Structure 1
Amino acid sequence: MHKDKFIRTRISMKKDIYLRQVGMTLLLTFAIVYKAGAQEQSRSLTLDLDKAIEIALSENPTIKVADIEITRKDYSRKGAIGNLFPTITASGDYSRTLKKQVMYMDMDIPGMDNGMKVGQDNSYSMGFNFQLPIVAPTFWKNIQLSKADIEQTLESARASRLSLVDQVKKAYYNVMMSEDSYQVLKESYDNACLNAKDFRNKYEHGVASEYDVLRAEVQVRTLEPGLLQAENGVKLSKVNLKVLLGLDMNIEVTPANKLSDYEADMYEQALNIDTSLQNNTNLKQLDLQADYLKKALVVQKMSWYPTLTATGLYNWTSMSNGPIFKDFRWNPYSMIGLTLSIPIFQGGSRYYKVKDAQLTVNQMKFRRQDLVRNLQMQSISYIDNIQKSIKQIASNKEGVRQAEKAYSIMQKKFEIGAATFIEVNDANVALTNARLSYYQAIHDYLAAKSDLEQVTGNVDLSKYMKDQQN
Structure 2
Amino acid sequence: MKIFLKYSAAIILMIGGSHKAIAADPLVLSREQCVEIALRDNPTVRIADMEVKKYDYSKKEVLASLFPSIDFSAAYQRSIELQTIRMNMGGESQNLKMGSDNTWNMGFTASMPLIAPSLWKSISISDEQIVASLESARASKLDLVNNINKAYYSLLLAIDSKDVVKQNYDIAVLNADVYAKRLATGTASEYDVLRSSVQVKNIEPELLQADIAVRQCQLQLKVLMGISTDVEIRPNVTLSDMQRNMYSYPASADRSISDNSSLRSLDIQKRILSKNVDLKKMAWIPTLGASFNLSWLSLSNGSPFKNQMFNPYSTVGLQLSVPIFSGGSKYYGLKQAQVQLKEIDLQRQNLVESLNMQVELAIDNINKEARQIESSAEGMRQAEKAHDIMQKSFDIGAATYLDLRDSELANTTAKLSYLQAIYNYLVSMSELDLLLGKGVK
What TM-score results when the alignment is normalised by the length of structure 1? 0.90
For 2:93, which of 112, 121, 127 is the aligned residue?
Answer: 112
Matches for 1:90-109 after TM superposition, within 5 Å: 90-105=72-87, 108-109=89-90
Residue 401 of structure 1 corresponds to 381
Deviation at 1:111, TM superposition (A): 4.6
Which consecutive residues of structure 2, in runs of 5 or more, have no partner in the other structure?
A: none
Cα distance 1:196–1:135, how it changes in 2: closer, same or farther (>3 A)? same
Residue 34 of structure 1 corresponds to 18
For 2:243, which of 242, 263, 267 is the aligned residue?
Answer: 263
CA distance in 1, matches of 2:321, 2:315: 19
Residue 85 of structure 1 corresponds to 67
Deviation at 1:360, TM superposition (A): 0.9
What TM-score results when the alignment is normalised by the length of structure 2? 0.95
Q: Which amino acid aligns with 1:87?
A: S
Deviation at 1:323, TM superposition (A): 3.0
3-state DSSP class of the match of 2:186?
coil
Cα distance 1:355–1:414, how it changes in 2: closer, same or farther (>3 A)? same
Deviations 1:212-236 (A, max 9, x none): 2211111111111111111000000
CA distance in 1, matches of 2:41, 2:111: 46
Cα distance 1:458–1:23, how it changes in 2: closer, same or farther (>3 A)? closer
CA contact (8 A) 1:308 1:339 kept: yes
Deviations 1:27-73 (A, max 9, x none): 455334323223334xx311101111011101111111111111111
Q: May I ask how many residue pairs the two structures share in their alignment?
A: 441
CA contact (8 A) 1:320 1:328 kept: yes
Which consecutive residues of structure 1, in runs of 5 or more, have no partner in the other structure?
A: 1-15, 463-470
After TM superposition, what 4+ stretches of structure 1 lie above 6 angstroms from structure 2?
A: none
Residue 117 of structure 2 corresponds to 137
Residue 45 of structure 2 corresponds to 63
Deviation at 1:270, TM superposition (A): 4.8
CA contact (8 A) 2:249 2:366 kept: no
Residue 422 of structure 2 corresponds to 442
Deviation at 1:277, TM superposition (A): 0.7
3-state DSSP class of the match of 2:422?
helix
Residue 425 of structure 1 corresponds to 405
Cα distance 1:71–1:24, how it changes in 2: closer, same or farther (>3 A)? closer
For 1:211, which of 164, 175, 191 is the aligned residue?
Answer: 191
CA contact (8 A) 1:56 1:244 kept: yes
Deviations 1:125-183 (A, max 9, x none): 11100112111111111110100111111111111111111010001001101001111
For 2:262, which of 244, 259, 282 is the aligned residue?
Answer: 282
For 2:358, which of 369, 375, 378 is the aligned residue?
Answer: 378
* Identity score, percent: 42
CA distance in 2, matches of 1:321, 1:138: 50
CA distance in 2, matches of 1:59, 1:116: 80
Residue 343 of structure 1 corresponds to 323
CA contact (8 A) 1:215 1:421 kept: no
Deviation at 1:302, TM superposition (A): 1.2
3-state DSSP class of the match of 2:291?
strand
Q: Which amino acid aligns with 2:139?
A: A
Deviation at 1:21, TM superposition (A): 8.2
Q: Which amino acid aligns with 1:344?
A: I
CA distance in 2, matches of 1:321, 1:26: 91
CA contact (8 A) 2:62 2:123 kept: yes
Q: What RMSD, in angstroms, separates the aligned Cα atoms of the two structures?
A: 2.0
Deviation at 1:319, TM superposition (A): 1.5
Residue 349 of structure 2 corresponds to 369
Deviations 1:379-423 (A, max 9, x none): 122112111211110011011101100110011011111111111
